């Protein structure tokens, strides 16, 4: 360990001891920078972070004691302190000797507080790197001086660039192991520069360091690299501009998080300002409604503010009573963001389960949550070669570009313009997992030009003329469970009651509307989506629609439910055990499936997800089709 | 915090300080939970981190009171001064205070002297799970920080717990930008840590700048103390000490303070003369042992103590 790293920047003990108040005064005015470290396995990321913590006295004596005993037990540095042990937290990875998740670390220098996301280098953990990078102002890309630019270096740099990090530091580490050789350093920098230009990285700062020995970490040039003329790593980290300071100079946008309404006289809109500045008297617009007003006051616990800017959490009151709630965006009146429901987006897939094209996911952007579907990707990117490859779906750690359709208009800006207004996550509606990170590129022109045609005879008119409440009775169950038979019985009974109905049958629809579709998972999803749309049009026409489709996936039934008005979708679970259905085998399909002649057959080699809370369940073992139909009629009679 | 000083009407974008940023981030997190959870609650331990968290909640919803109650999972062994501040703080915030004591621990007379780690398991770990189930809370704010301990450094801001309150470190949801996914199934719950990114120094400095009231035990004063198994403790309730220890320990008056507050017989005191906030911060910065060291809990089960506790459902 060289002594030089302990000087200057961290030399604050004396000030703390002599004049604590002036020390605190200094600390109070520090700014904050978030950065990530990424690189290949064994590039020495954890060691570098351990070194920064150690040098800034963020390691206490008892931790150091534990560290040196751990170092002797499992360390890789002989009798020396293994800084990596300090930051590799979880027991599992301590045993494996690798970092498997993002760890956040903190240290201070004289000028700044730093939050470091330590990101893993393994390919399978790309999702963690994207997570760490999403909130970072800067990325330190580590390279082992002995190995030079590797495939992983390229991947990490690409990801950092993709997620919009403009400040990239190329830390050429382990310089001590190449005898601090300038030619080695220069060659690596040249290699990296060529690659950086290829993927659009405009600039980067290269620093030769040794995380283990401490060279050029806090002081530059180290006596071992007299040829190096740039800043030390810490000097550079202290001088880089922070993202949200840049955002303060952009147009004002604040996603509304919460409407604050303690009494009838006060109505405030609370949120974290995403960009720009705002002051009382400013003309603002609420989106998507487009209504305008002026800012009356900026209310905080500490009194009203004359002005607020990006990065502050505030509550804004307006001069007029305009309709505005969580999910809306307050913005500067004459320069609002766009509103659209069809986009092109770049997606990073974060989940073990592949993207289901056409399936409904929750999309959260700012404080807006909508239902959205992803179309078949235009391409996915090979992150090692940057080649664009054809893709039918996206799997864990894939990056691709696809069109995204939302069921309601979203207020947005391109991610390149505004991270908060263009970055989103996709959430699986069944498992609730965060399955993808997305960045909106632009809205599709057709969504701007195709408007809803307002018709004079409304769906209410249609329903009134038929003297009935439109419904969709959605029969779901295994093949041979009796869906079509029972639906047919129900329709006959409804007809006798003078109800206007229509039965959509699975087999029949596949002869016409959906004859282009097969039985793969993607085709089954599209099949159901189309049937859902048709059913919706029929309810607009005032009809009671009966559908008989296996519809094996919960997510697709959910998708149709979400398309319709509340309470309009009635899920009827035709509950027949597989053995019974297989025994009936009316169409001889089970036999074919068992013999392998028929692929993707529900119940045999494709799953059936039974409804969790169906409105109606009929058990066809205990009931005849006639009894089942009566039971269903009983259940829906109160609905008129 | 006053973020901007407007110089004679000249518009300027001041660079926000790290504390202003941390404050805005915490308020954003607290509001997200209030907006998306069905029934949130703020866990309130009466310590300094809780005090900061409560203060941030007041700020997040001003001029309304925070739209959730405070929950204290009590062990009956807290310092008297903590009970005093607890009532006052809730009242000042205009919030409902819920106190939960594990009935089984109460009935069996579980205490730190006779029952060792079982004291924490039953009163705190089980007590917390029972309280959340009892009231049906689906989101609970906690004052944990990532700088406290190694396994905390990898904790998400929104940390998911199964219906049995287990924590699976390998199966956490990725957290991108400041978008938090609060969706969950019935029975599952979230622990939310709004001050994840604060350090101990940040907490102290914020308390000073915001003039937040904290338990006086954080400041040095002459107090009755005794030595037990090599540690220095305060005799907060002599009658109860006698009851469980079988005798009154030898009590000496010393000038002491506490760096962290828990159950009085588990929380070691340090000899100190630091009686003002500045002095406490000074001592904290110059000290050479980490904050949680005064607590017995992290030393159980070797280096992985806290991680193991978390998987079992401890906060």
Q: Give the residue-averaged pLDDT of A63-68.
A: 59
Question: What pLDDT, on a 0 to 100 scale, did the predictor assign at position A421?
Answer: 95
Question: What pLDDT, on a 0 to 100 scale, did the predictor assign at position B26?
Answer: 97
Question: What pLDDT, on a 0 to 100 scale, did the predictor assign at position A452?
Answer: 52
Q: Is A516 exposed, middle or buried (0-12, 13-18, 19+ CB in 10 A)?
A: exposed
Pairing of strands A471-476, A360-365: unpaired
The residue count for chain A: 640
Q: Give the residue-averaged pLDDT of A330-344.
A: 92
CB of B295 less than 8 A from some CB of A? no
Q: What is the pTM of this model?
A: 0.77
Residue A390's pLDDT band (cuts 50, 70, 90): very high
Nearest to A134 by CA among B160, B182, B175, B195: B175
User: CA of A351 to nearest chain B CA: how many angstroms apart?
Assistant: 9
Cβ contact, residue pair B174, A127, below 8 Å: yes
Q: Is the separation of the CB atoms in B144 and B310 below 8 Å? A: no
In B, which residues are within 8 Å of A313 by CB distance?
23-25, 27-28, 31, 59-60
Distances in Å between the Cα of A129 and the Cα atoms of A140, A246, A350, A419 are: 12, 23, 11, 17
Cβ contact, residue pair A90, B307, below 8 Å: yes
Q: Give the residue-averaged pLDDT of B173-195.
A: 91
Convert the pLDDT of each residue in A281-317 to its tens digit: 999 999 988 899 999 999 999 999 999 999 999 999 9
CB of B34 less than 8 A from some CB of A? yes
Question: What pLDDT, on a 0 to 100 scale, did the predictor assign at position A11?
Answer: 45
Say whether pLDDT at A159 is over 50.
yes
Which residues neighbour A601 within 8 Å (Cβ) at sequence distance 6 or greater? A479, A519, A589, A590, A592, A593
In B, which residues are within 8 Å of A30 by CB distance?
17-18
Question: What pLDDT, on a 0 to 100 scale, did the predictor assign at position A251?
Answer: 95
Residue A501's pLDDT band (cuts 50, 70, 90): very high
Query: A76-109: string of b/e by CB count within 10 Å (b at 16+)?
Result: eeeeebbbbbbbbbbbebbeeebbbbbbbbbbbb
Cβ contact, residue pair B279, A365, below 8 Å: no
Nearest to B77 by CA among B43, B51, B114, B52: B114
Report chain A's mean pLDDT, rounded to a whole number: 85
Q: Residue A554: how many CA atoms within 13 Å on its side-chain side?
A: 11
Convert the pLDDT of each residue in B225-248 to its tens digit: 988 888 888 888 888 888 777 888
Cβ contact, residue pair A89, B154, below 8 Å: yes
Q: Give the residue-averaged pLDDT of A458-471.
A: 83
Which of A251, A268, A305, A312 best tests the B interface by mutation, with the highest count of B CBs <10 A?
A312
Q: Give the residue-averaged pLDDT of B56-71.
A: 96
Residue A40's pLDDT band (cuts 50, 70, 90): low
Question: What pLDDT, on a 0 to 100 scale, did the predictor assign at position A104?
Answer: 84
In B, which residues are within 8 Å of A420 by CB distance?
177-178
At A47, list the tokens. Answer: 């060691």
Of A21, A301, A306, the CB nearest to B278: A21
Say whether pLDDT at B10 is over 90.
no
DSSP bridge pairs for B271: B256
Nearest to A2 by CA among A194, A225, A280: A225
Residue A458's pLDDT band (cuts 50, 70, 90): confident
Which of B33, B174, B303 best tests the A interface by mutation, with the highest count of A CBs <10 A?
B174
Say whether pLDDT at A258 is over 70.
yes
Question: What pLDDT, on a 0 to 100 scale, did the predictor assign at position A13?
Answer: 62
Convert the pLDDT of each residue in A167-220 to its tens digit: 999 999 999 999 999 999 999 999 999 989 988 898 899 999 998 888 999 888
Alpha-carbon distance B248 to A219, whole Å? 57
Q: Residue A164: how many CA atoms within 13 Å on its side-chain side?
A: 22
Q: Is the separation of the CB atoms in B294 and B260 below 8 Å? A: yes
Active site residue A551: yes
Alpha-carbon distance A1 to A215, whole Å? 9
Q: Is the separation of the CB atoms in A100 and A92 below 8 Å? A: yes
Q: Is the pLDDT higher at A558 or at A19?
A: A558
Which of B152, B154, B197 best tests the A interface by mutation, with the highest count of A CBs <10 A?
B154
User: CA of B245 to nearest chain A CA: how many angstroms apart?
Assistant: 30
In B, which residues are within 8 Å of A131 by CB distance?
174-176
Convert the pLDDT of each residue in B108-127 to its tens digit: 888 877 787 888 888 888 89
């Amino acid at each position: 360990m060289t002594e030089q790293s302990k000087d200057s920047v961290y030399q604050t003990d004396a000030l703390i001891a002599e004049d604590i108040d002036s020390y605190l005064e200094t600390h109070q005015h520090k700014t904050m920078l978030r950065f990530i470290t990424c690189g290949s396995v064994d590039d020495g990321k954890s060691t570098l972070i351990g070194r920064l913590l150690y040098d800034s006295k963020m390691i206490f004596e008892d931790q150091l004691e534990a560290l040196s005993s751990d170092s002797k037990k499992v360390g890789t540095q002989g009798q020396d302190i293994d800084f990596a042990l300090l930051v590799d937290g979880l027991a599992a990875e301590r045993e494996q000797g690798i970092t498997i998740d993002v760890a956040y670390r903190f240290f201070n220098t004289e000028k700044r507080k730093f939050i470091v996301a330590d990101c893993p280098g393994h390919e399978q953990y790309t999702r963690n790197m994207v997570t760490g990078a999403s909130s970072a102002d800067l990325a330190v890309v580590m390279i082992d001086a002995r190995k030079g630019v590797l495939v992983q270096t390229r991947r990490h740099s690409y990801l950092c660039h993709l997620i919009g990090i403009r400040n990239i530091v190329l830390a050429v580490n382990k310089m001590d192991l190449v005898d601090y050789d300038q030619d080695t350093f220069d060659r690596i920098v040249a290699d990296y520069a060529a690659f950086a230009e290829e993927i659009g990285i405009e600039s980067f700062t290269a620093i030769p360091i040794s995380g283990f020995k401490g060279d050029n970490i806090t002081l530059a040039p180290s006596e071992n690299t007299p040829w190096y003329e740039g800043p030390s790593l810490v000097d550079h980290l202290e001088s880089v501009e922070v993202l949200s300071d840049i955002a303060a100079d952009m147009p004002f946008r604040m996603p509304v998080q919460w409407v604050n309404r303690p009494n009838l006289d006060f109505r405030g809109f609370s949120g974290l300002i995403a960009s720009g500045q705002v002051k009382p008297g400013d003309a603002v617009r609420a989106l998507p409604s487009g209504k305008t007003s002026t800012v009356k006051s900026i209310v905080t616990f500490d009194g009203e503010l004359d002005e607020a800017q990006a990065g502050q959490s505030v509550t804004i009151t307006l001069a007029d009573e305009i309709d505005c709630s969580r999910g809306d965006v307050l913005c500067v009146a004459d320069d609002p963001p766009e509103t659209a429901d069809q986009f092109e987006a770049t997606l990073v897939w974060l989940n073990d389960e592949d993207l289901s094209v056409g399936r409904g996911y929750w999309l959260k952007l700012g404080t807006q949550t909508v239902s959205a579907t992803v179309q078949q990707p235009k391409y996915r990117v090979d992150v090692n070669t940057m080649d664009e490859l054809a893709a039918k779906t996206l799997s864990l750690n894939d990056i691709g570009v696809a069109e995204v359709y939302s069921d309601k208009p979203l207020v947005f800006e391109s991610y390149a313009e505004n991270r908060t207004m263009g970055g989103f996550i996709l959430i699986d509606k069944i498992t609730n997992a965060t399955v993808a990170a997305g960045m909106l590129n632009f809205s599709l022109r057709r969504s701007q030009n195709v408007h809803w045609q307002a018709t004079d005879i409304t769906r209410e008119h249609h329903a009134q003329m038929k003297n009935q409440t439109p419904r969709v009775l959605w029969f779901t169950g295994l093949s041979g469970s009796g869906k079509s038979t029972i639906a047919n019985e129900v329709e006959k009974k409804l007809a006798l009651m003078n109800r206007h109905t229509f039965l959509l049958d699975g087999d029949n629809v596949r002869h016409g509307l959906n004859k282009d579709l097969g039985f793969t998972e993607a085709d089954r999803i599209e099949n159901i989506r189309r049937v859902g749309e048709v059913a919706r049009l029929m309810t607009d026409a005032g009809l009671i629609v009966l559908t008989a489709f296996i519809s094996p996936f919960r997510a697709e039934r959910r998708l149709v439910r979400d398309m319709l008005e509340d309470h309009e979708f009635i899920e009827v679970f035709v509950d027949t055990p597989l053995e019974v259905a297989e025994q009936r085998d009316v169409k001889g399909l089970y036999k074919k499936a068992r013999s392998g002649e028929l692929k993707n057959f529900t119940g045999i080699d494709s799953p059936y997800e039974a409804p969790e809370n169906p409105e109606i369940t009929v058990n066809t073992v205990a009931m005849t089709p006639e009894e089942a139909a009566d039971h269903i009629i009983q259940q829906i009679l109160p609905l008129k | 915090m006053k973020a901007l000083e407007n110089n004679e009407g000249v518009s300027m974008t001041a660079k926000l300080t790290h504390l202003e940023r941390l404050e805005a981030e915490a308020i954003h997190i607290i509001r997200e939970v209030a907006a998306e959870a069905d029934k949130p609650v703020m866990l309130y331990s009466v310590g300094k981190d809780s005090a900061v968290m409560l203060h941030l909640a007041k700020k997040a919803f001003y001029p309304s009171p925070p739209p959730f109650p405070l929950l204290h999972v009590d062990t009956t062994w807290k310092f008297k001064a903590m009970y005093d501040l607890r009532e006052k703080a809730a009242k000042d915030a205009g919030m409902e205070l819920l106190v939960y004591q594990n009935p089984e621990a109460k009935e069996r007379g579980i205490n730190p002297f006779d029952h060792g780690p079982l004291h924490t398991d039953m009163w705190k770990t089980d007590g917390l799970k029972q309280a959340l189930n009892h009231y049906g809370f689906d989101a609970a704010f906690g004052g944990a920080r990532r700088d406290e301990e190694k396994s905390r450094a990898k904790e998400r801001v929104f940390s998911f717990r199964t219906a049995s309150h287990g924590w699976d470190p390998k199966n956490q949801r990725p957290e991108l930008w400041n978008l938090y996914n609060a969706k969950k199934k019935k029975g599952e719950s979230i622990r939310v840590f709004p001050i994840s990114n604060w350090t101990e120094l940040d907490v102290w400095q914020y308390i000073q700048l915001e003039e937040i009231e904290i338990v006086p035990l954080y400041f040095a004063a002459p107090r009755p103390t005794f030595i037990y198994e090599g540690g220095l403790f305060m005799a907060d309730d002599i009658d109860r000490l006698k009851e469980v220890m079988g005798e009154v320990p030898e009590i000496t008056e010393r000038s002491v303070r506490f760096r962290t507050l828990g159950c009085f017989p588990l929380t070691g005191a340090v000899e100190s003369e630091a009686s003002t906030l500045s002095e406490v911060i000074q001592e904290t910065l110059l000290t050479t042992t980490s904050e949680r060291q005064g607590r017995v809990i992290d030393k159980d089960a070797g280096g992985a103590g806290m991680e193991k506790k978390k998987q079992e459902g401890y906060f």
